Structure 1
Amino acid sequence: MDTTTRLVPDTGLNQFFSASEARIDRWRILNRIARRLVAQPKGSTADLRQQAVDVLDELRPLEDFNAYPGPRLMAKVDERIAEEDWVGLHRLVQRISAALMCNSYRDEKEAWSLDEEGEAHLPDILPPSIGHGQSRKPYFEILVVSAGDRASWPEIRETLRRLRREDDPFIYEPVVVGSFEDAILATIFNYNLQSVVIFDGFGFASQYSSPALRDTIARNTPEGVMDGMDDTGTALAHLIHGLRPELDLFLSTDRDVGEMAGSDEAAPLRRIFYGAEEPMEIHLSILDGIKDRYETPYFDNLKKYAARPIGTFHALPVARGKSVFKSNWIRDMGEFYGANLFLAESCATTGGLDSLLEPTGNIKVAQEKAARAFGGDRSFFVTNGTSTANKIVHQALLTPGDIVLIDRDCHKSHHYGIVLAGAQPLYIDAYPLTQYSMYGSLAIRPIKQALLALKAEGKLDRAKMLVLTNCTFDGHIANVERTMLECLAIKPDLIFLWDEAWFGFARFSPLLRMRTAMGAAEKIRTMMRDGAYRERYQAFRESVADIGDTDPRLLDIPLLPDPEQVTVRVYETESVHKSMSALRQGSIIVVADQAFHKVEPQFKEAFFTHTSTSPNLQIIASIDLARRQMELEGYELVQRSIQLAIEIRRDINNHPLISRYFRAATPAEMIPGIYRASGFADYGMTGKTLSDATRALRDDEFFLDPTRITLLCGKAGYDGTTFKGLLAETYDIQINKTSRNSVLVQININNTRSDMAHLIKALADLSRLIDRRLAEGGDAERDAFDARVKSLVEDVPELPDFSRFHNALRDNSESATPEGHMRDAYYIAYDPECCECIRLNDPRIDERLKNGPELVSAKFVIPYPPGFPIMVPGQVITPETIAFMRKLDVKEIHGFNATRGLELLRPEALAARHGRKE
């Protein structure tokens, strides 16, 4: 009797965020089954054989959508199972599995061989030697959507292969499908796809009926997909473009191609061909499309510059490296960094190089490519971080007296940017997560409340911009489309600045793209031109006809803007270096502003103001390269990182030992239920699939970025700062952000399963140490541990909300809106005579809180953690703020010196300003 353990998991394909990871997972399982079959006694293999068949049945549709291993190798696998040749099966499956895991099939012909004895080789992934470039041809796959039957597909594949030439810069393999729905499945499941060639006349329905695949089709095929389209070819092109906008789309049709080429239907298509009369032109067009994305204008030019014999007579001694390599004392600098770093340095903007301040050549082209990649109209490279990018946008779009609606919990660069611009911040508080000593995100309702209050007081015209963080440091992702629609319904020309420093990667995920600033801006622009939306808007207007423009009832009604009045004005700042392969401080401003022509001169001035005249050339090049990578493989990398993050969450929370002391906070714990209408509570819950997560992404006000894991450590007796230090010093694990009782684990395109194992092992080791300490330490140890846990998990300080600006810093102290002149307070504090310092525990603090005069902050006070300003210049300090400060046990507080105490604006200085104002 066969009593072997079943190796096929219960986890269905529809529970994977990354289809490629699900596929590789199945091949690994099949490899283990094949190994067991080899070791199994004769006559007792029936159960294992059935498991192998089950896995293959699940894999077969996915393999139809991928070029490797392809029909011939799949047939060989079936043949080995039919013959019960377990040794041959194991060799073949092991080779295929290894080739898929390490991607060696892209470079090694042996991976495609029918000979089971062949071995897959590891790809060249080691850092290259100095001076050595990429020697291999990059590999990709194309999708061919054919009107022919399945029997004709081998001929189609062979025809395309015959078009390949030795001097082609890239190499590709074709994948053929015969229906609309199968084309959608291939687009989603095959991350190697870079081009899609659509031949008119194909069918609609998929040949597959499995629940997981039907669910995928339903989730990604919106109702009315054919509305307004004359044929399935253009409809398919539009749908694929929405899923993966980076793909090149080609259509071969027997329609009037001249007429079609000028229509809106052809907008997503790179080129249209008449019938199949020009196969070589199709081949060349495919390669040209890849070349367009592969080219990195600035980096390519910098490589050429480094190879030229340049004589430098400018102020940059390290250029060309002579001062380094000829040195007796710093030659190790050159050995460490390599020659190319110095050869590619210059402070000139001539001789083939371009100016970041006035780009006219390769930087200009690189920025245009980046705008395309990130979904905007234009983009601007920033070489000193998103802090500077934010200040550029503030200074470009704001003038003194403008009102800025802003999340008080946003990055400090926004607060300083408002000071520089002289605008008045109207601070709005995000919802608190007191148990973790952090804020969540800023909900739509309080934003609408602020806008309606401004409107009621006749100040809406001064409300220039809304500043929001998306996603937050801790992973709270806004419903960007809904937020902008509701705000535009109140103020149709409102400018939006979305700080997406941590979220740039989301553009390359079909799931997360809908939650990005540029993704929503594009959708709203299209929506405002759509006749169906106009009908929807008219119905909305009729439904609120009896409600006044400032009626509080509007707070609880989803608002729609008037398409005749809306101007879409969206700015997105991204730290390319935080989630993509760019050097530190490499950032970008992406713009989708229908009124940019009105602000372009001042934007340029602001860019001049904040941009160095000696920008780092290597940072510019790295932004260029990061764009190339994300356009060509961002889809694969992002989906894989999401899948890895979800697996880490599960491994931590399901581990019987680790979960006693450590836990990954779930969406239900990080986002209050009022903002999760879908009821989505966690990733991979029993009975839940990817469709549930997609529904939450589409409908909920907030969604938790799966790649940002709040790892709770309070129950282990560690505060965030101590735990961060322990991980770094003992386990060589680096963490960036902490809170009172948590650390933030960030998963990005750089992480691997080895990194996951490293973290899990460290948590398990620490958990065992805690167990042993508590078991051996006696009652005193356990009591001390319990007290420490209670202080970290239960006795947490209340988070203070923003109070108000002092009346001397407000235009009207009776106003219901709390904006104030923060810039004035900031500069008053420059005069030492206008300031005083009082220590935090000085009794005068409590006396003045009770009896006055009011305590007014002279500075930004920003504790790390939590990392947001709990005081800003001109803010009236409340008892809640003082209580929070006194309970803080962090070492780093910007703007506060414990020896000197709180820096305050003297009452007489404020009174003097109040008198001048009146």
Structure 2
Amino acid sequence: MNQDVHSEPQRTLSSVLMAASLRADQWRHLNASARAWADARPDAAAKHRARCQEQLDEVLRIEHCWAYPGERLLGALREALDQGDAASFARYAQKISAAILSGDYRRDEQVWSLDDELDRTTLDALPPDIGGLADKPYFEVLVVTPSDPAQWARSKDEMRRMRRPEDQFHYAAVHAGSFEDAALAMMVNTDLQAVVLIDGFGFASRHDVPDLKAFIARHIHVDPDELRPGTLALTLAATIKGYRPELDLYLLSDRAPEALAGSDEAAPLRRVFHHVEEPMEIHLSILDGIKDRYETPYFDNLKKYALRPIGTFHALPIARGKSIFGSNWIRDMGHFYGTNILFAESSATTGGLDSLLEPTGNIKKAQEAVARAFGAKRAYLGTNGTSTSNKIVVQAVCKPGDIVIVDRNCHKSHHYGFVLSGAQPYYVEAFPLTQYSMYGAVPLRTIKQALIDCAAAGNLSRVKVIDMTNCTFDGHMYNPRRVMEECLAIKPDLIFLWDEAWFGFARFNPLHRRRTAMGAAAALTQRYRSRAYREEYDAWKAKLGDRDPADASLIDERGLPDPDKVRIRVYQTNSTHKSMSAFRQGSMMLVWDEDFHQVEGPFEEAFFAHTSTSPNLQLIASLDLARRQMELEGYALTLKMTDLALKIRRAVNTHPLISKYFTVATPEDMIPAEYRESGLTDYGPPNASWAESAEAWDLDEFALDPTRLTLICGAAGFDGTQFKGLLAERFDIQINKTSRNSVLVQTNINNTHSDAALLIKALADLSREIESRLSQEGSIGHQVFADRVKSLMTDVPDLPNFSRFHDAFREDPNSASNEGHMRPAFFMAYDEDNCEYVKLASDEVDKRLRDGPDMVSANFVIPYPPGFPIMVPGQVITADTIAFMRKLDVKEIHGYHAAQGIKLIKPSTLGSRRATSM
């Protein structure tokens, strides 16, 4: 995707992830060609001019989607080309390209002018408030209008006259004359924050963009032949809201605004105006809409609090910084952190700071803004990471005896949540990726089989929650809408907990959003309330009749929930700090629960139980700010990080030297074929266009998040832990997660092309070093290297599945369902008289495996990597688990100390419990 445009002349909108990225590349290449023309010998000038003409034509295909550079600069550029003025063409091309790449058009009024000197007319045309431009956030407004394009300049003049020095923001207008042009601009222009719809425009584009319809069709499914007369503006409003829900929408119509404003069709609109009778009100409304998203209630108040002269007589000496700046010994702390962080500290909940435990003021407003931004019904802020958020949700929705169908490989916080709540986990297994010593995600058939088994055992009424990780650490994305629909067809009141710790950013672009919990909750709510769904369900039920939830044939059936019984009850946790601009441990709990009134009290109790009465004020403020940033620029940032990840994938896997020793795992590598119905093997040409990749995300059971790159390092002779340390020590590249033969490279909104270049350079340097070393070594050295690679890439241990809970911790040992009482097993280990230890390498372990009695784990045992519990309290330990532990070469294994051995519950203790329970 980062090929030179000259080598890929047929590259279309549909072949790239982000048209804005394509635009920047095209301007960059045009700038290079313009310089070449200006520097060319006379005999080569015609060839270079022709190339500039070709590239300018390509650039201008969609340049109407942005306010900058505007018609004046583009006109000057075209005129210079027509007149053969290479020097002027190169000057304007460089000016425009530099401003687009740097974003200076948002801050510097000079980049809008034709010449180096300020052009007063041009300044009046867009940037307001000379001298204060850099201090005011800039955005663009899309105006969709039926008026003649010749009148658009006049419209811009009228909008300019509305501006005032006291305006908090400044904006420029972009005009579109049709549904298709507006849809294209909405998708590619990441500067857009508001859309003004003037009733009466048509559907088809006036521009000659050959692949425009294909580009739009892959995102927007609107058949112009099926539109009712007079509904095009409202249809466009609904379309925009579905694709970019953060945008403010305004409708100007000559229809009765009173009746229109009260209709369901007007729900996506922020405000309805009677045509253009109140231009100043439109201007103020646009600014007010931005202000609503820009406001950070808690952070704004914290800044005010820090400016007040406050005497602190509470238990936080660090507040106001006097104990630090007046110290002879820790004054450097104040110099390092500065004064603001100290002035903005307090243990008080007065003075407008509000209480996280009982929010009534600005924290409550901040949580409401979070719910709006993330598409939830409710939102709660967490200041102790998603580890605590998960325990809060589990404890809120589960009570002792409830069954939770849960991925055994989920984060340990879920398992501890079951211990705290007394819920009984029914562990289900993800598909294994043995070659990488990691697991994928849990197949839908496996989840449904667990429900069917519980129904067969008479326990379906006790199944309360489906608990899954989406996306997984390694990038496996579920299809939450499909999972929830098929499970709700078996049990219509299920609660779903989706741990999206690594996936919080996904809300803010339409590509990832389709794979999110909140996106699925909204889609299913709308679906089940529609008349069309009821007709679909009635036809399905008439054909199949009432189905027994224990019917084994349900495993292969695409079931439909009863619209009269189904309830959408979805909880999503996200580690805001992992993918957004929040301080470490900042987390959010998002709720879409139609029966939240049933759990509101328990949720409050769980929140009280796990939340500090002295939460960190800076964490709360950073969550407030992270929401602001994502709501205003998350669309641009998340598309950019995805585009960057695809470029890294391509650069590594197509590099002739790097790819000998390092590769980025593809969707084909990471997802078995039976879960990729589309047949997608990898992202980007020549494997698939982004259009085909997006279609696969709609179709396939599992998809791979392209921003999470599993970089295989075993072929270079490095294990994951070793390679992680090498990258940090030699190249200043930080990596978090590793496996036996890989590291995880994840792009985020913080990454730049320079970061990508640093990684590629490091891989190239290491590859050259390996080549050089091998070239100087004889056959023995080559064999040593080959043996090392074989041990990492081929001789990998099998991954152990969850075995079962011991009969002492099961209500019915003969039941087909696999749930167990983990809580009593966990607390048995508190009494050392109940426990024994066996050494992993001892003969006793093999004897117990062969002859019994069963070895039953007394605690959690979690190796890092891979990071999932291979033993949980009450689990019967089997031979494959022991074999896996014996082959592990990692140093960090939580819950296991080699000097002591494996901690077990004594058989005598198990026998007495069984006798008691029976």
TM-score norm. by structure 1 comes to 0.97
Which AA in structure 1 matches 2:56? L
Aligned counterpart, 1:496: 496
Aligned counterpart, 1:867: 867
Aligned counterpart, 2:479: 479
SS in 2 for 1:44: helix
Which AA in structure 2 matches 1:798? D
How many Å apart are 1:141 and its aligned residue?
0.2
Question: CA–CA distance in 1 between the matches of 2:442 and 2:133?
Answer: 46
Aligned counterpart, 1:300: 300
Structure 2: segments with no counterpart, 5+ residues: 120-131
Aligned counterpart, 1:250: 250
User: Which whole-Å deviations, capped at 9, do the CAs of 1:636-685 have from their partners, x for residues lacking one?
Assistant: 00000000000000000010110000000001110111111111111113
Q: 1:5 to 1:258 in 2, by over 3 A?
A: closer
How many Å apart are 1:37 and its aligned residue?
0.9
Q: 1:70 to 1:402 in 2, by over 3 A?
A: same
Question: CA–CA distance in 2 between the matches of 1:606 and 1:549?
Answer: 32
Is this contact kept in 2: 1:521–1:568, CA < 8 A?
Answer: yes
How many Å apart are 1:40 and its aligned residue?
1.2
How many Å apart are 1:334 and its aligned residue?
0.5
Compare 16-25 and 794-803 and name the one that shifted more. 16-25
SS in 1 for 2:172: strand
Question: CA–CA distance in 2 between the matches of 1:6 and 1:860?
Answer: 57
Question: CA–CA distance in 1 between the matches of 2:854 and 2:798?
Answer: 21
Is this contact kept in 2: 1:92–1:116, CA < 8 A?
Answer: no
Aligned counterpart, 1:602: 602
SS in 1 for 2:42: coil
Aligned counterpart, 1:333: 333
How many Å apart are 1:221 and its aligned residue?
2.1
Question: CA–CA distance in 2 between the matches of 1:275 and 1:6?
Answer: 47
Aligned counterpart, 2:143: 144
How many Å apart are 1:494 and its aligned residue?
0.2
1:353 and 2:353 are equivalent in the alignment: yes
SS in 2 for 1:740: coil
User: How do residues 292-691 of structure 1 correspond to structure 2 at under 5 angstroms?
Assistant: 292-545=292-545, 548-686=548-686, 688-691=688-691
SS in 2 for 1:43: helix
Question: CA–CA distance in 1 between the matches of 2:660 and 2:7?
Answer: 28
User: How do residues 271-310 of structure 1 correspond to structure 2 at under 5 angstroms?
Assistant: 271-310=271-310
Which AA in structure 1 matches 2:883? A
User: How do residues 734-745 of structure 1 correspond to structure 2 at under 5 angstroms?
Assistant: 734-745=734-745
Is this contact kept in 2: 1:8–1:55, CA < 8 A?
Answer: no
Aligned counterpart, 1:20: 20
How many Å apart are 1:162 and its aligned residue?
1.4
Aligned counterpart, 1:166: 165
Compare 209-218 and 784-793 and name the one that shifted more. 209-218
Is this contact kept in 2: 1:378–1:590, CA < 8 A?
Answer: yes
Which AA in structure 2 matches 1:240? I
1:696 and 2:693 are equivalent in the alignment: no
Aligned counterpart, 2:824: 824
Is this contact kept in 2: 1:229–1:265, CA < 8 A?
Answer: no
Q: 1:201 to 1:228 in 2, by over 3 A?
A: closer
Aligned counterpart, 1:900: 900
Question: CA–CA distance in 1 between the matches of 2:399 and 2:230?
Answer: 49
Aligned counterpart, 1:200: 199
Is this contact kept in 2: 1:229–1:235, CA < 8 A?
Answer: no
Question: CA–CA distance in 2 between the matches of 1:834 and 1:548?
Answer: 43
Question: CA–CA distance in 1 between the matches of 2:26 and 2:86?
Answer: 18
How many Å apart are 1:135 and its aligned residue?
6.6
1:262 and 2:262 are equivalent in the alignment: yes
Question: CA–CA distance in 1 between the matches of 2:588 and 2:515?
Answer: 18
Question: CA–CA distance in 1 between the matches of 2:533 and 2:5?
Answer: 56
Question: CA–CA distance in 1 between the matches of 2:487 and 2:917?
Answer: 32
Aligned counterpart, 1:215: 214
How many Å apart are 1:62 and its aligned residue?
2.3
User: Which whole-Å deviations, capped at 9, do the CAs of 1:277-303 have from their partners, x for residues lacking one?
Assistant: 011100000000000000000000000
Aligned counterpart, 1:716: 716
Aligned counterpart, 1:99: 99
SS in 2 for 1:588: strand
Question: CA–CA distance in 2 between the matches of 1:147 and 1:905?
Answer: 77
SS in 2 for 1:841: coil
Which AA in structure 2 matches 1:182? D
SS in 2 for 1:490: coil
Compare 48-57 and 443-452 and name the one that shifted more. 48-57
Aligned counterpart, 1:125: none
Aligned counterpart, 2:882: 882
How big is the alpha-carbon RMSD for the aligned residues of Structure 1 and Structure 2? 1.6
Which AA in structure 1 matches 2:175? V
How many Å apart are 1:51 and its aligned residue?
2.2
Q: 1:5 to 1:504 in 2, by over 3 A?
A: closer
Question: CA–CA distance in 2 between the matches of 1:303 and 1:21?
Answer: 36
Q: 1:370 to 1:28 in 2, by over 3 A?
A: same
Q: 1:184 to 1:799 in 2, by over 3 A?
A: same
Question: CA–CA distance in 2 between the matches of 1:84 and 1:227?
Answer: 48
User: Which whole-Å deviations, capped at 9, do the CAs of 1:123-172 have from their partners, x for residues lacking one?
Assistant: xxxxxxxxxx9970000000000011211111111211111111111000
Question: CA–CA distance in 2 between the matches of 1:11 and 1:223?
Answer: 25
How many Å apart are 1:535 and its aligned residue?
1.5
Question: CA–CA distance in 1 between the matches of 2:787 and 2:689?
Answer: 40
Which AA in structure 2 matches 1:859? N
User: Which whole-Å deviations, capped at 9, do the CAs of 1:777-822 have from their partners, x for residues lacking one?
Assistant: 1111100000000010011111000000000110010000010000
How many Å apart are 1:531 and its aligned residue?
0.9
Question: CA–CA distance in 2 between the matches of 1:353 and 1:619?
Answer: 13
User: How do residues 791-830 of structure 1 correspond to structure 2 at under 5 angstroms?
Assistant: 791-830=791-830
User: Which whole-Å deviations, capped at 9, do the CAs of 1:492-542 have from their partners, x for residues lacking one?
Assistant: 010000000000101001111111000000000000111111111122223
Question: CA–CA distance in 1 between the matches of 2:317 and 2:375?
Answer: 39
Which AA in structure 1 matches 2:164? R
1:51 and 2:48 are equivalent in the alignment: no
Question: CA–CA distance in 1 between the matches of 2:862 and 2:441?
Answer: 18
Which AA in structure 2 matches 1:254? D
Question: CA–CA distance in 1 between the matches of 2:742 and 2:47?
Answer: 46
Aligned counterpart, 2:189: 190
How many Å apart are 1:94 and its aligned residue?
1.1
Compare 680-689 and 897-906 and name the one that shifted more. 680-689
SS in 2 for 1:710: strand
TM-score norm. by structure 2 comes to 0.97
How many Å apart are 1:181 and its aligned residue?
1.0
Q: 1:356 to 1:6 in 2, by over 3 A?
A: closer
Q: 1:831 to 1:218 in 2, by over 3 A?
A: same
Q: 1:864 to 1:26 in 2, by over 3 A?
A: same
Which AA in structure 2 matches 1:199? I
1:854 and 2:847 are equivalent in the alignment: no
Is this contact kept in 1: 2:501–2:578, CA < 8 A?
Answer: yes
How many Å apart are 1:85 and its aligned residue?
1.5
Is this contact kept in 2: 1:77–1:92, CA < 8 A?
Answer: yes
How many Å apart are 1:212 and its aligned residue?
3.0
Which AA in structure 2 matches 1:746? Q
Aligned counterpart, 1:156: 155
Is this contact kept in 2: 1:91–1:116, CA < 8 A?
Answer: no
Which AA in structure 1 matches 2:174? V
Is this contact kept in 2: 1:250–1:270, CA < 8 A?
Answer: yes
How many Å apart are 1:543 and its aligned residue?
3.6
Taking only the aligned residue pairs, the percentage that are identical comes to 59
Question: CA–CA distance in 2 between the matches of 1:710 and 1:6?
Answer: 31
Question: CA–CA distance in 1 between the matches of 2:569 and 2:387?
Answer: 21
SS in 2 for 1:484: helix
SS in 2 for 1:172: strand
SS in 2 for 1:61: coil
Aligned counterpart, 2:123: none
Compare 159-168 and 516-525 and name the one that shifted more. 159-168
